Structure 1
Amino acid sequence: MTVEPLDWIKVGHIDELPEGRVRTVTARTTSICLSHFDGQWAAMDNHCPHQRGPLGEGSIEKGSDGKCWIRCPWHGWDFDPLTGKPPGGHEDSGQDLYPLKIEDGEIFVGLEAEPEHERTVTDVMAETMVNWGVKRVFGMVGHSNLGLADAIRLQVNKGNLDYVGIRHEGAAAFAASAYGKLTGKPAACLTIAGPGATNLMTGLWDAKVDRAPVLALTGQVQTQVFGPGAFQDIDLKSAFEAVSRFSQPVLSTSNHAELMSLALKTAIVERDVANLIFPDDVQTNPSQKEAGHPEGRMGGTEVSPSAGDLAKAAELINGAKRPTIVLGYGAKDVREKVIALAEKIGAPVMTTFKGKGLIPDTHPLAAGVLGRSGTPIASWFMNEADLIISLGSSFANHTGIAPYKPIIQVDFERMQLGKFHPVTLPVWGEIGTFCDEIATRVDKAGDAVDQVTELVERWAIWREEKETRLSEDSGHGIHSAAVFKALTELCPDDAIIPVDVGNNTYSFGRYFEPRGQRILMSGYLGSIGFSLPAALGAWCATRDFAEYKGRKVISISGDGGFGQYAMEFTTAVKYGMNITHILLNNSELGKISKEQRSGEWPVWETNLTNPSFAAFARLCGGHGHRVTDSAELNDAIRTAITHDGPSLVEIVTDADLV
């Protein structure tokens, strides 16, 4: 009889298991009890036949005759480590044994050759994900997504996907949202049924309202127990109905490749959330179907404005003496074209808060951020303007675009035009196309005001005021202006900066002067806790896309925001992510305290009890430094930014000095 050759799989080194001990090891997916006794080694099936207790967590026991037995830690059943047989009296016939050999101190266990993998429903769907350009999955593997997780694992092993295992599913959704905001490409987030799926909700709403493509892959209980209240069974289709543009269960009779294709097309085209629900029993159903792909499924994205709208826009621009441009987040991919138009007509460019950094503050036409989180420069030019050209802005009340001014609004979504109030000229079209076509029809008016000189003057006034604020000190911590002055000086020009919400965000908007950095935030949702998970997503984008390769990720939060997902710092450590987190610690929810005072409420329950976050970072395996003196800021931030791996700078700040 021919004996098939074995696969010899390394399971450890002889130094790792002392004499007289057992331990659990894994060869491929087989759990094995490895034992070392009387100078001998043996490998046995790890599951006790009684109740599958883990024999590798048990012990070696010697009988009165000196014979060794492996004893199950759960109920004391014994097995001979060399034969797998129990002593007399047990009904069970014993345990399977595996061949074992030792070479150069390394321990190998022999297993039969792994059978060829049988292709499944989730293999088809994972291959379809890859074909549509998905490169990254954030998630948590669990009991109701194991078949899907294995399909993802196979794609990871082939180099087609990368996976990040997070500590909380909410962080997976925020990471995927930030990834989508930065790249315009969908990442996936993987969860189990019930609470794993519902934990995604906040991050998915962040993606939805900020128009970021995300694919949510949620496990589900078996189809046979839908409805009667099985463990972790909730109606996920209803739960995801409001937050997703596309949400469908994956059934055994579904067209699986088409279902995944439609989900991804929806996420990409609609810039929204798509959700697929995978019942446990369907995930491993065999399938020989072909995977889906995007060829022939996507059209071009350019939408040209009408000739009449272009003519009216040119007339308004050519007649303006003080035109100004509001550059919003919706124009992020064509910011160079917007800046070129501004240069041609001599218009200052102010950004929305979400659009901060789309024009460097070092540009002669940059006017800073408009609105509550902005600068007095932008406010001044808004007040003086005789024409506002709004490109990619949603007119949020946070921004404060003056509705009584003449306004040209350009957007590629017709529902955004004049959404909150009428504008002088709503123009439907893709913003880059508008800039290209209008640039040939406009020029700076002959009697236009020299706004470049005014910009120089206004920046000088604001920078002088910022310097005077640095001297403010009430003895309760460092001024936020000092933090962001240091970060302005030290932050790499091409860094990616996810920011949280709270006082730290308002201060960042006012004081940090971008020079080309890309800024990510939870815009319309304004969710606390966004920045650290977003940093995970942004770092992954630097690995997945050449245009972001090598860019430093620097996230910013307060102590309240960091506390939401603090354990994701261990995720950054696990995957060696080169992330620096700047944490402004004022031991309270400072923005809420200010709102209570402003509304003449008593300040109540906004104080926080914190550990040393710098020490926490070190305990997690990263770099951590605590700063209590502004003189230490530059060295601390510089060291953290140059650290190769996760780092955190905890800065004790004054909640009133923002």
Structure 2
Amino acid sequence: MATSKKKVWYKVLDNKNELPEGRVKTVTAAHKGICLTHFEGKYSALDNKCPHQGGPLGEGSIENGMLRCPWHGWDFHPQTGVPPGGYDDGIETFEVKEENNAIYVGVEEEVPHETTVSDIMVETMVNWGVTKVFGMVGHSNLGFADAMKRIEQKGKLNFYGIRHEGAAAFAASAYGKLTGKPAACFSIAGPGATNMFTGMWDAKVDRAPILALSGQVATQVVGTGNFQEVDLVQAFGSVAEFNHRVQSDSRHAELMSLAIKHAILKRDVSHLTFPDEVQERKAKPHAKAKTPEKRMTTLEIAPPKEAVDDAVALIRKSKRPVIILGHGARAYKKQLAAFAESLNAPVVTTFKGKGLISDYHPLGGGVLGRSGTPIASWFMNESDLLIVFGASFSNHTGITPKKPIIQVDFDPLALSKFHKVEVAVWGEISRTLEIFEEELKSGINALDQTKEVAERWKIWKEEKAKRLLETSDNGVSSIAIFDAMNQLTPENAVMCVDVGNNAYSFGRYFESKEQDFLMSGYLGSIGFALPAAMGAWTAVGDERPVVAVAGDGGLCQYLAEITTLVKYKMPIKLIVLNNHELGKISKEQRAGEFDVWQTSLSNPNFAEFARSCGAWGKRVENQEHLKAAMEELFAENGPAVLEVITDVNLI
């Protein structure tokens, strides 16, 4: 004999007068959606889903004595749920009782949650160390979102609801650049997923691991032109190194494991898309989440002996070696500084590698290239050997091919990518450095260039002091902003920079100490700074300050994310250089002998906007107030925005 399930009563209205006669309302009893009606003096409870297409009956109305579905106008009796004519597609009803003027609905006790495919995959994801997810919950990803909710409630995952999926992908990209580990971005099908595309490309070209998770419409309607239907596997085929649709019969834990393993080892993009019907499917009886235990190999690959011998021979005979560090050397700052000290060789960086050696280190020479200092270019030009670690040789950096070059990189395809080099060394950087140092214990002929580094810095600082005297009635100069930042920015901050004139000035004038720097390097995507700062904060928490520097053009792309900072109490400090212009584009138009056209901007008062969102905000319009305002900015405990009106010509 079947055992009847226990009935549980849930209060759905504190006061029955909240629902007037002749009205309907959606309420919830546990997780059950209820259409509560008040008709002919009686309160009734019906299932909230219309049997036609699941329309929310609680959003409908009572017309001519019948409850009408708001989607397609199907009618039901507001007390019995029976349609006109008594057809068999009526609506389930539930008992209602009144107590102390409140309304209660009785529903069967919920059965314990059964493990779903999404549960298995989320647990596997967390086991592999992917614990930060940026995204937006929506109708085609609800099952997977529900699984993440359960893991978050256990304290194993943090989900950050953003205002635009593009910001989610940039945040995850920045997290990967800073930590070398993947975070996830999460979206619905169709436009939510395609919004993530730019940030995914940013991660791909800057070799940052990232996991993209997208919902998808039900498999049965794929190919029919269904609402928000996009073939996401095909759409992301160009950006994702690992790119799969999750199916009912997939090996679900293994599929998630492979996605994350590819992201980490390839330093690339992995994408999984989840059809709607798969997300809530019950897991197979013995399905278990997987872990990375014994699934990952060490990456400490030693370079070939012949390459080592050739490199060591070049270093031994060099008088004026210069070391160049790119973003790929980020994890080896201390070892590379020690190697430079053993050679007394200047160290310069690419823009993406800014901060890999402090500008206050006796051998630090600043940034090379278009965003760089004359110190770095001078030492490159005076060198007789360039030793390059983890750099891509982009045009923006301008590493000259006219000097003998030793290039060290973990990626064999990056070696001699654009032109031949004297010695291409394929190996993991720290292992390669150990071998170099052992081989170079004797026989080094390099000159001590430490004194020259100090001399070149002296010349550059004198030049910067002259530029600092240039003022304007149209706004503050960029050099004044970065001079103030040099004095006040916390020495261990993570700093996120946008694209445009603000970035060029940042690279040239800001003097790094122990900060880390994040930017949209190869993709050069405007709008990067603010969402990147969100990703950085989730990586470092309260252990390090996070600072974003943006122009007005870039900030407006994701301006609404200031509300995200407030919601999650992210104490990010945002400095926006507002010149009411896409100044970098105006400059390029002039350089190309075009008319300056359509680069002017109409901006809000960013400080007022920040305050309206619940953040601290202040605007500075002249240089004498700059330093005091910046001190206030860094003294704030929560999210804060400092807007500086700048002169577009003083960069």
TM-score w.r.t. structure 2 length? 0.90
Give the alignment partner of residue 181 of structure 1, picking from 177, 180, 205: 177
Give the alignment partner of residue 513 of structure 1, picking from 508, 511, 514: 511
1:262 aligns with 2:258: yes
Which residue is equivalent to 2:417? 419
Alpha-carbon deviation of 1:611? Answer: 1.1
Q: 1:43 to 1:15 in 2, by over 3 A?
A: closer
Alpha-carbon deviation of 1:425? Answer: 1.2
Which residue is equivalent to 1:367? 365
Within 5 Å, which residues of 2 pair with 1:344-423? 344-423=342-421
Alpha-carbon deviation of 1:571? Answer: 1.5
Whether contact under 8 Å (2:95, 2:105) holds in the other structure is: no
Within 5 Å, which residues of 2 pair with 1:481-630? 481-543=479-541, 549-630=542-623
Using the alignment, how far apart are the partners of 2:474 and 2:105 within structure 1? 62
Whether contact under 8 Å (2:50, 2:69) holds in the other structure is: no
1:136 aligns with 2:132: yes
Alpha-carbon deviation of 1:634? Answer: 2.1
SS at match of 1:127: helix
Alpha-carbon deviation of 1:492? Answer: 1.2
- Encode CA deviations 1:193-235: one digit per residue, 9 max, x unaligned: 2212111111110010001111111122221222232222222
Give the alignment partner of residue 150 of structure 1, picking from 112, 132, 146: 146
Q: 1:161 to 1:450 in 2, by over 3 A?
A: same
1:231 aligns with 2:227: yes
The one-letter amino acid paired with 1:272 is: D
Using the alignment, how far apart are the partners of 2:491 and 2:312 within structure 1? 35
Whether contact under 8 Å (2:578, 2:643) holds in the other structure is: yes
SS at match of 1:96: strand
Using the alignment, how far apart are the partners of 2:164 and 2:131 within structure 1? 21
SS at match of 2:549: strand
Whether contact under 8 Å (2:301, 2:428) holds in the other structure is: yes
Whether contact under 8 Å (1:344, 1:444) holds in the other structure is: no
Alpha-carbon deviation of 1:480? Answer: 0.4
Which residue is equivalent to 2:341? 343
- Encode CA deviations 1:16-54: one digit per residue, 9 max, x unaligned: 9699999755454334578999xx997945838699776
Which residue is equivalent to 1:293? 291
Using the alignment, how far apart are the partners of 1:184 and 1:11 within structure 2? 48
The one-letter amino acid paired with 2:180 is: G
Alpha-carbon deviation of 1:149? Answer: 1.7
Whether contact under 8 Å (1:351, 1:358) holds in the other structure is: yes
Q: 1:15 to 1:390 in 2, by over 3 A?
A: farther
Which residue is equivalent to 2:242? 246
Which residue is equivalent to 1:634? 627
Unmatched 5+ residue regions in structure 2?
none
1:191 aligns with 2:193: no
The one-letter amino acid paired with 1:183 is: T
- Encode CA deviations 1:420-473: one digit per residue, 9 max, x unaligned: 111111111111111122123326977643311111111122112112212212
Which residue is equivalent to 1:306? 304
Higher alpha-carbon deviation: 162-171 or 151-160: 151-160
Using the alignment, how far apart are the partners of 2:620 and 2:9 within structure 1? 53
SS at match of 2:168: helix
Alpha-carbon deviation of 1:108? Answer: 8.4
Q: 1:4 to 1:224 in 2, by over 3 A?
A: closer
Using the alignment, how far apart are the partners of 2:102 and 2:176 within structure 1? 45
Using the alignment, how far apart are the partners of 1:354 and 1:240 within structure 2? 26
The one-letter amino acid paired with 1:426 is: A
Whether contact under 8 Å (2:97, 2:103) holds in the other structure is: no
Alpha-carbon deviation of 1:252? Answer: 1.6
Using the alignment, how far apart are the partners of 1:16 and 1:466 within structure 2? 72
Alpha-carbon deviation of 1:542? Answer: 2.1
Whether contact under 8 Å (2:75, 2:84) holds in the other structure is: no
Which residue is equivalent to 1:47? 48
Using the alignment, how far apart are the partners of 1:73 and 1:635 within structure 2? 60
Whether contact under 8 Å (2:343, 2:446) holds in the other structure is: no
Which residue is equivalent to 1:115? 111
Using the alignment, how far apart are the partners of 2:84 and 2:207 within structure 1? 67
Unmatched 5+ residue regions in structure 1?
62-68, 544-548
Give the alignment partner of residue 274 of structure 1, picking from 264, 270, 277: 270
Which residue is equivalent to 1:64? none
Number of aligned residue pairs: 640
Which residue is equivalent to 2:437? 439
SS at match of 2:278: coil
Higher alpha-carbon deviation: 271-280 or 371-380: 271-280
Q: 1:284 to 1:4 in 2, by over 3 A?
A: closer
Using the alignment, how far apart are the partners of 1:206 and 1:93 within structure 2? 50
Using the alignment, how far apart are the partners of 2:59 and 2:421 within structure 1? 72
Whether contact under 8 Å (2:16, 2:103) holds in the other structure is: no
